[in-house]
Homo-oligomer: A and B are copies of this chain.
Amino acid sequence: MDQAEKRELLRKDRQRVWHPFTQMKDYENKDHLLIEKAEGVFLYDADGNRYYDTVSSWWVNVHGHGHPRIKQAIVRQLDETDHIMFSGFTHRPAIELADKLLAIAPPGLGKVFYSDNGSTAVEVALKMSFQYWRHTGRPGKTKFAYLENGYHGDTLGAVSVGGVELFHAAFRPLLFDAYRLPAPQVREWVDGRPTPEAARTCVDEAIEPVRRLFETSAGEIAGLVVEPMIQAAGGMKMHPPEYIQKLRDLCTQYDVHLIADEVAVGFGRTGTMFACEHAGVTPDLLCLSKGLTAGIVPLSATLCTDRIYEAFYDDYETLKTFFHGHSFTGNPPACAVALESLRLFEEDRVLERARETSEALRVQLRRLGSFRHVANVRQLGMVAAFELMADPAAGKPYPFAERRGYKLYWEALKEGLILRPLGDTIYYWLPLVTTPEQAADIVDRTCAVLGRLGYR
């Protein structure tokens, strides 16, 4: 677009738009990046500059941008039906998607409840779990347990089980009371993985408080919410699969629902279709969104066991209905996109190809080891992360006010990379179609940016 048009759009953006998770004053003297085109793993700004979408547009994109099959799927669906209500009515795309999701999800899940985004998928899970215990004669089970550093969305129910103080502390008076558990913490990484000793210590330390809590209080706990394998917004903190296995065991033993929030980690990002597969466990409730539609349009789903579903199935007069719904529940175009995405997963062998890239990425990441202030380099599938630290050996971070991550973000844009930081945690969250060559190029550019900022 021409410069006048660009300036006019950016003027209106500044005048009219409040961007999410953004201190707008950060943009007092600079503009948001105006994106004009998106193709494959690249975004292009209004001046034609190209950027690797290194964060998959907030962890959503799967098959790259502008995939022709995705577009065709929307068009085909719109020729049949656009949106129709999902209460009293049903339609092919929502039925086929539910069937498909249950076929690929961890075994033992039985029903699909649709909504629009990750927050609502989690709220649905919380409300289902809460009501389940009322309907099955244990109305004292009204509380939830969650992890430090956990993030499950921004609606107030989801915030109540959120463990990221920066995002959540301000809203305390509006939140329900919940049990906060320490997050699993891996202290030593080699080649992007926890050392065996660090993995054992991590699991032992983190699981013991869960056991103690359940011993004393399981009678009042409905469910435990967890992001399996990676606590994403809380700082891309990864844990060993044994932690999820032991959570599953404790939840089963103490009659607590295991609620797996795979909104971020689902759909291949960690190397398996769902992150729970690393641990070989099935949660009682599974929350999905983001990659569900390949990251193109809003849609989410909460999968639950038939046992939970059946606790709501009764004569109308018993008032056991799950009174929850959103207007666009089961939106047909969104369901059609999700179905097409799952077809692409199979036909294009997306998981296998992503595995090749993630192995190539593992090798490349070794190069970050040469930077003295780069710590905790870790990787799972298409996700990798590290911290910028003043003194890694002493565990000493940089002062908060220096905003190291933020500065690196701006520098990386000049290098054609979107390295959106979480504080001083820098991460990749790559589209699954990223090639090994592109992954190498991304690490190359990251090293160049680090060097330019004086990191050695």
- A: residues with CB less than 8 A from B are 9-10, 12-13, 15-26, 32-38, 43, 53, 55, 57-61, 65-66, 70-71, 74-75, 78-92, 94-96, 98-99, 102, 110-120, 123, 126-127, 130-131, 134, 142, 153-158, 160, 166-168, 170-171, 173-176, 289-290, 295-299, 304, 309, 312-317, 319-329, 331, 333-334, 400-401, 403, 406, 409, 418, 420
Taking a contact as CB atoms under 8 Å apart, the answer to whether B166 and A87 are in contact is no
**A35 and B90 in contact (CB under 8 A), knowing A23-B316, A321-B23, A331-B297?**
yes
Name the one of B18, B66, B95, B325 contacting A21, with C-beta atoms under 8 angstroms.
B325
Taking a contact as CB atoms under 8 Å apart, the answer to whether B334 and A156 are in contact is no
Can you tell how many copies of this chain the complex includes?
A: 2
8 closest residue pairs by CB, A with B? A20-B325, A156-B157, A155-B155, A32-B90, A298-B328, A16-B98, A58-B85, A21-B325
Q: Which residues of B contact A84 (CB under 8 A)?
A: 35, 38, 43, 53, 57, 65
A316 CA to B23 CA in the complex, in Å?
6
Question: Secondary structure of the A side of the interface?
Answer: mixed
A333 CA to B441 CA in the complex, in Å?
30
A253 CA to B133 CA in the complex, in Å?
45
> In whole Å, how far is A120's beta carbon from the nearest beta carbon of chain B?
6
A331 CA to B160 CA in the complex, in Å?
26
Kindly list 14 other residue pairs between chains A and B, CB separation below 8 angstroms, not including A74-B74, A123-B156, A297-B333: A12-B96, A17-B112, A21-B87, A21-B322, A32-B89, A35-B84, A36-B92, A70-B82, A74-B75, A117-B117, A119-B123, A119-B326, A123-B154, A173-B176
Write 26 A-B pairs (CB below 8 A) sorted by A numbering.
A9-B92, A16-B98, A18-B309, A18-B322, A19-B86, A20-B87, A21-B323, A21-B325, A22-B87, A23-B313, A32-B90, A37-B81, A57-B85, A58-B327, A60-B83, A60-B85, A116-B298, A117-B327, A117-B328, A120-B120, A289-B327, A298-B299, A298-B326, A298-B328, A298-B334, A317-B401
Q: Which residues of B contact A110 (CB under 8 A)?
A: 16
Query: Which residue of B is nearest A68, CB measured?
Result: B78
Taking a contact as CB atoms under 8 Å apart, the answer to whether B33 and A296 are in contact is no
Q: Which residues of B contact A43 (CB under 8 A)?
A: 81, 84, 89
